[in-house]
Amino acid sequence: MFRINKLTDYAVVLLVDMARTSRVRAAHDIAAETGVPAPTVAKVMKALVRGGLVRSTRGASGGYGLARPAERIAVSDMIEALEGPIAMTACVDSAEDCCEREAYCPMAGHWNRVNVAVRTALDGITLADMAKDAMPPAWMTPVVPRRSGAGTGAQTAPAPMEPNV
């Protein structure tokens, strides 16, 4: 199974949140709003800054913000910022490491087509696409008033204000 790692998954969650709010925020605020633990937010943000997707600003009004518009950040950019170049196998044209069987491998060159198809698909979806379809975290969803029994009136549970982290 082809699967991104947990830190990349967190990176996408954080980037989607940043795209939806579009303001500079401190790591602890991002952690509180997303439910991702603060140490993980700090670690992921460092990688995203190195990858050129997020900018960091120091000072009293500092924090993290997107380095470019969400429409110009592809899913492939997010994955590469955390995991490096996207390749289905080590034997694609751009690979630095070669297999000792490369000279007589029947699959030589064929994985490149698969790699290009995967890359094209990941390039075609942007952070803006993901942010517009994203649901807010469950703890942020307001509680809908519910009726209980005839004649007792509506009862409303209070909406939670902060995540349980």
pLDDT for 17-61, tens place per residue?
Answer: 999 988 999 999 999 999 999 999 999 999 999 999 999 999 888
What pLDDT is stored for residue 131 in this prediction?
Answer: 93
Cβ(114)–Cβ(88) below 8 Å: yes
**To the nearest whole number, what is the mean pLDDT of the chain?**
81
**Minimum mean pLDDT among 69-73, 88-92, 113-117, 139-143: which range?**
139-143
70-99 residue pLDDT tens:
999 999 999 999 999 888 776 665 555 566
Is there a domain that residue 151 lies in?
A: no
* Band (13; pLDDT cuts 50, 70, 90): very high
Is there a domain that residue 80 lies in?
A: yes
For residue 122, the tally of other CB atoms under 10 A from its CB is 16
- Domain extent, residue 97, equals 6-137
Cβ(29)–Cβ(62) below 8 Å: no
Structural domains counted in the chain? 1
Is there a domain that residue 43 lies in?
A: yes
Q: How far is CA 101 from CA 35, 98, 105, 110, 158, in A?
A: 47, 8, 6, 15, 64
What pLDDT is stored for residue 158 in this prediction?
Answer: 46
> Is a pLDDT exceeding 90 seen at residue 161?
no
CA gap 85, 91 in Å, rounded = 13
- Residue 84 sits in a domain whose CATH number is 1.10.10.10
Is there a domain that residue 159 lies in?
A: no
Is there a domain that residue 125 lies in?
A: yes
Is there a domain that residue 144 lies in?
A: no
> Phi then psi for 55, rounded to 5 degrees?
-115, 150
